[in-house]
Structure 1
Amino acid sequence: MNDIVIANVVRPERVLAGSWIDVIASNLDYHRATFLWKCEGLTDAQLRQRSIPSSELSLLGLMRHLQGVERYWLHLRLTGTPPQFFPYRTYKTADGDEWFDESDPTPASEVYADYLTACQTSRDLLPQGTTNLDRIEPNPEYGDTDIRFILEHVIEEYARHTGHADLLRESLDGTTGE
């Protein structure tokens, strides 16, 4: 039985010249695929492994977080579409934030499917949310932002967490990448 959760990730070519939204959308897809590339070939147990001492961070936890990023920023903030969050187990941090509980028993294959669904919904909603890039969107964390900020922030989330994923993957099995 093959217990690999994610196999054969192919990163798309990025649009290097074109409309601003085409370049941003292609970069977002590239970063999504790069994150999944860091998870490629691993089992459920490996994706759950917390390989950094005193950390609750795992590749699976990052995947749960990134589906939340997709749903909060691109579904809710970009288009006003109420997100359909998967009911993952969470806990409150010392500063009152909510974070995914690493003991959540949801199989990694279901988390992966949920992540892919969140990404596809974001792709489908993108044209609707980017008709007016100057539109101001109130946000409780940052204050008023325009649509460009929202899109750039999602790429920032991917860049940051793909860096975390790179370190986690290397600590699991020595695999490194760019």
Structure 2
Amino acid sequence: MNDIVIEHVVRPERVLTGSWLEVIASNLDYHRATFLWKCSGLTDEQLRQRPIPSSALSLLGLMRHLQGVERYWLHLRLTGTPARFASYRMYETADGGEWYDESDPTPAYDVYTDYLTACQTSRDLFELGTKDLDRIEPNPEYGNTDIRFILEHVIEEYARHTGHTDLLRQSLDGQTGE
């Protein structure tokens, strides 16, 4: 029996020239695949590990977080589509926020499948949500933002957390990214 959750990931080529939306959509897919590429070849147990002392971060926790990013920013904020958030167990952090509790029994493969579903729904909604880039979307965290900000913010989330993923993976088994 193979315990590996994510077998093999091929990252897509990025669009380097084209419309702004083509470049953004391409970069989103590239960052999604890069995150998964850095998680590939690991077991459920490895994805749950928190290898950095005093850190609440695990690769599985980041995967849960990124499915939430997809649903909150690209489903709900970009298109107004009601988001179906998975009911993963959470805990309150020292600063009063929330994070994903690694004692949640949801198998890593199910989290991975949920993440893929969230990403595919985002792709399906992308054109609908980007018809009017100047549309203002109220946001409780940032205030009023336009659609360009939302798209840039999702790329920012992926860039930040892919860096975390690199550090966690290296701490787990010495694998490094690029």
TM superposition score normalised by structure 2: 0.98
1:137 equivalent in structure 2:
137
1:65 equivalent in structure 2:
65
Q: Does 1:85 pair with 2:85?
A: yes
1:51 equivalent in structure 2:
51
1:75 equivalent in structure 2:
75
The amino acid across from 1:150 in the alignment is I
CA distance in structure 2 between the partners assigned to 1:118 and 1:130 by the alignment: 18
CA distance in structure 2 between the partners assigned to 1:94 and 1:55 by the alignment: 12
1:155 equivalent in structure 2:
155
Aligned-pair Cα RMSD in Å: 0.7
The amino acid across from 1:173 in the alignment is D
The amino acid across from 1:123 in the alignment is R
The amino acid across from 1:77 in the alignment is R
Per-residue Cα deviation, 1:108-147 (whole angstroms, up to 9, x for no partner): 0000000000000000000000000000000000010000
Alignment partner of 1:21: what SS? helix
Gaps of 5+ in 1: none
1:164-175 superposed matches below 5 A: 164-175=164-175
1:120 equivalent in structure 2:
120
Per-residue Cα deviation, 1:37-91 (whole angstroms, up to 9, x for no partner): 1100000000001000011110000000000000000000000011001110012
1:36 equivalent in structure 2:
36
Alignment partner of 1:66: what SS? helix
Displacement, 1:93?
A: 2.3
2:27 equivalent in structure 1:
27
CA distance in structure 2 between the partners assigned to 1:106 and 1:52 by the alignment: 22
Runs of 4+ in structure 1 off by over 4 angstroms are none
Alignment partner of 1:69: what SS? helix
Q: Which moved more, 1:24-33 or 1:94-103?
A: 94-103
CA distance in structure 2 between the partners assigned to 1:145 and 1:33 by the alignment: 27
Per-residue Cα deviation, 1:9-52 (whole angstroms, up to 9, x for no partner): 00000000011100000000000000001100000000001000
CA distance in structure 2 between the partners assigned to 1:31 and 1:71 by the alignment: 16
Alignment partner of 1:63: what SS? helix
1:176 equivalent in structure 2:
176
The amino acid across from 2:151 in the alignment is L
Gaps of 5+ in 2: none
Alignment partner of 1:22: what SS? helix
CA distance in structure 1 between the partners assigned to 2:88 and 2:166 by the alignment: 24
The amino acid across from 1:80 in the alignment is G
The amino acid across from 2:12 in the alignment is P
Identity of aligned residues (%): 84
